[in-house]
Structure 1
Amino acid sequence: MSTEVKVPTLGESVTEATIGEWLKQPGDAVALDEPIASLETDKVAVEVPSPVAGVMGQQVAAVGDTVNVGATIATIEAGDGKAAAPATAPAAKAEAAAPAPAATAPAPATEDSGDGVTTLSPAVRRLVLEHGLDPSRIKGTGKDGRLTKEDVLAAANAAPEAAPAAAPAPAAAPAASGAPGRREERVKMTRMRQTIAKRLKAAQETAAMLTTFNDVDMSAVMATRDKYRETFEKKHGVRLGFMSFFTKAAALAAHDIPAVNARIDGDEIVYYDYLDLSVAVSAPNGLVVPVVRNADGLSFAEIEKAIADLGKRAKDGTLTMDDMTGGTFTISNGGVFGGLMSTPIINPPQSAVLGLHRIEDRPVVRNGEIVIRPMMYLALSYDHRLIDGREAVTFLKTIKEAIEDPTRLLIDL
Structure 2
Amino acid sequence: MTEVRVPTLGESVSEATVATWFKKPGDSVAVDEMLCELETDKVTVEVPSPVAGTLSDIVANEGDTVGVDALLANVSEEGNAGPEETKPREEKATSEDGPASPSKGSESVDVMVPTLGESVSEATVSTWFKKVGDSVEQDEMLCELETDKVSVEVPAPTSGTLTEILAEEGSTVEAGGKLAVMGGSGGASASPSKAPDDNQYSTPDAGNAGPGKDIKDGPAAEKAMAEAGVKRDDVKGTGKDGRATKSDVAAAVAAANSAPKASSAPASAPRAPSPAEDADREERVKMTRLRQTIARRLKDAQNAAAILTTYNEVDMTEVMALRNQYKDQFEKKHGVRLGFMSFFTKACCHALKEVPEVNAEIDGTDIVYKNFVHMGVAAGTPQGLVVPVIRDADSMSFAEIEKAIGEKGKRARDGKLSMAEMQGGTFTISNGGVYGSLMSSPILNPPQSGILGMHKIQDRPMVVNGEIKIRPMMYLALSYDHRIVDGKGAVTFLVRVKEALEDPRRLLMDL
TM-score norm. by structure 1 comes to 0.78
Give the Å deviation of 1:376: 0.3
Give the Å deviation of 1:16: 2.2
Aligned counterpart for 2:351 among listed residues 244, 250, 253:
253
Give the Å deviation of 1:118: 5.0
Structure 1 window deviating more from structure 2 (194-203 vs 136-145): it is 136-145
Name the counterpart of 1:134: 231
Aligned length: 365
- For the aligned residue pairs, the C-alpha RMSD in angstroms reads 3.4
Give the Å deviation of 1:238: 1.3
Give the Å deviation of 1:395: 0.5
AA at the equivalent of 1:70? G
Q: Does the alignment pair 1:152 with 2:253?
A: yes
CA distance in 2, matches of 1:136, 1:63: 30
Consecutive unaligned residues of structure 2, counting only runs of 5 or more, are 1-106, 192-213
Bigger RCO of structures 1 and 2 (CA < 8 A, at least 6 apart): 1
Consecutive unaligned residues of structure 1, counting only runs of 5 or more, are 86-113, 165-174
CA contact (8 A) 2:122 2:174 kept: yes
Name the counterpart of 1:83: 189
Q: Deviations over 1:149-189 (max 9, x none)?
A: 11222244469869x9xxxxxxxxxx996778641111111
CA contact (8 A) 2:144 2:154 kept: no
CA distance in 1, matches of 2:261, 2:189: 41
Give the Å deviation of 1:210: 0.3
TM-score norm. by structure 2 comes to 0.64
Give the Å deviation of 1:330: 0.5
Q: Deviations over 1:39-90 (max 9, x none)?
A: 4333x1153676x9744864543332211233123568897996379xxxxx
Distance 1:176 1:407, change over 3 A: closer
CA distance in 1, matches of 2:190, 2:425: 49
CA contact (8 A) 2:161 2:184 kept: no
AA at the equivalent of 1:40? E
Name the counterpart of 2:177: 71
AA at the equivalent of 1:146? T
CA distance in 2, matches of 1:202, 1:84: 56
Identical counterparts, % of pairs: 52
Aligned counterpart for 2:168 among listed residues 62, 76, 89:
62
Report the structure number with the largest CA radius of gyration.
Answer: 2
CA contact (8 A) 2:160 2:185 kept: no
Name the counterpart of 1:29: 138
CA distance in 1, matches of 2:347, 2:245: 38
The SS at the match of 2:437 is: coil
Aligned counterpart for 2:392 among listed residues 270, 274, 294:
294
CA distance in 2, matches of 1:81, 1:279: 51
CA contact (8 A) 1:9 1:69 kept: yes
Distance 1:142 1:178, change over 3 A: farther
AA at the equivalent of 2:139? V
Distance 1:121 1:146, change over 3 A: closer
The SS at the match of 2:479 is: strand
Q: Deviations over 1:182-206 (max 9, x none)?
A: 4111111111111211111111111
AA at the equivalent of 1:271? Y
Q: How does 1:13-412 map to 2 (within 5 A)?
A: 14-21=120-127, 27-30=136-139, 38-42=144-148, 44-45=149-150, 47=152, 54-55=158-159, 58=162, 60-74=166-180, 83=189, 116-117=216-217, 119-120=219-220, 124=224, 129=228, 132-135=229-232, 137-141=234-238, 144-148=243-247, 149-157=250-258, 182=278, 183-412=281-510
Distance 1:8 1:235, change over 3 A: same
AA at the equivalent of 1:311? G
CA distance in 1, matches of 2:185, 2:260: 42
Give the Å deviation of 1:6: 3.0
Q: Deviations over 1:2-44 (max 9, x none)?
A: 36433425444x542212346899614329xxx97654333x1
Q: Deviations over 1:256-301 (max 9, x none)?
A: 1111111101000111111111111111111111111111111111
